[in-house]
Amino acid sequence: MAMLHNVARLLQQARRVAVLTGAGVSQESGVPTFRGPGGLWRQHRPEDLATPEAFAKDPRLVWEWYDWRRGLIAEARPNPGHLALAALEDRFEDFTLITQNVDGLHRRAGSRQVVEIHGSIWEVRCLDCGDLREDRRAPIPILPTCSLCGGLLRPNVVWFGEALDPVRLEQVREALVRAQVMLLAGTSAVVQPAAAFGLWAQQAGAVLVEINPVPTPLSLRCDYVLKGPAGEILPALLAALPQPGGGL
């Protein structure tokens, strides 16, 4: 708990904050993480499904996996971790929430300055004509086709081996360089380039704080590690900050 109060004190003094979230932040909303218990789907690892090669070989299998995740996410609600991050945004002059999650739960919780580096599970893109649109059908017909040209649709998410959108990556870079404190919440810190974001921020001067019930490859590099679920730690951090307009 002493550690939590130290981090709260740091946040109290900071004006510019960046956060990187991963699947762990949505775990308490009932969305399984990729590498934890329940992460395997029909014995497939995400690295074997979320690739352009897997989709080219067996688009039906990949779509069945995404359809399963879309169904879970459609039922999910933001949890106290998402809500605490949305509330934290109002406490800082400069607050950027970078997320690897494609579930849209941060925005639903009220976060506004969100950079979704891996895209959105609710968008589809035509492989033939490139048409990009929102598609919230759950279940989605498998295989889904483009209403304009009949081409095969794919989820508009970033797969392994694909580059991040350069505009979003630049937004991330700028936020990391500005940040005085960076929180890493609910990410296993093994998928690049996101796994390196914390270290980039730290090199540029930010204090690095990890929030995770389990150690990650970055834990030893972090300045503080708050061990526990994001849905408990983030609300506790928020509660430890002075209330806005609350006087002394």
**Binding-site ranges for ligand OAD (CB under 6 A):** 22-24, 27-28, 33-36, 39, 46, 50, 100, 118, 157-160, 186-188, 191, 212-214, 216, 229-231
Residues 199 and 35: beta-carbon distance below 8 Å? no
Distance between CA 196 and CA 122 in Å, rounded? 27
- Provide the minimum distance between the beta carbon of 48 and ligand OAD in the complex, in angstroms, as a whole number: 10
Q: Which residue number places its CB atom closest to ligand OAD?
A: 24
Residue 13 identity (one-letter amino acid): Q
Which CB atom, from 16 or from 235, has the smaller least distance to ligand OAD?
Answer: 235
Give catalytic residues, as residue numbers.
118
**Alpha carbon separation from 237 to 22, 127, 241 (Å, rounded):** 18, 44, 7
Which CB atom, from 14 or from 157, has the smaller least distance to ligand OAD?
Answer: 157
- Neighbouring residues of 64: CB distance < 8 A, sequence distance ≥ 6: 142
| SS3 at position 196 | helix
Q: In this structure, what DSSP letter does residue 219 have?
A: G
- Provide the minimum distance between the beta carbon of 120 and ligand OAD in the complex, in angstroms, as a whole number: 12
Which CB atom, from 156 or from 187, has the smaller least distance to ligand OAD?
Answer: 187
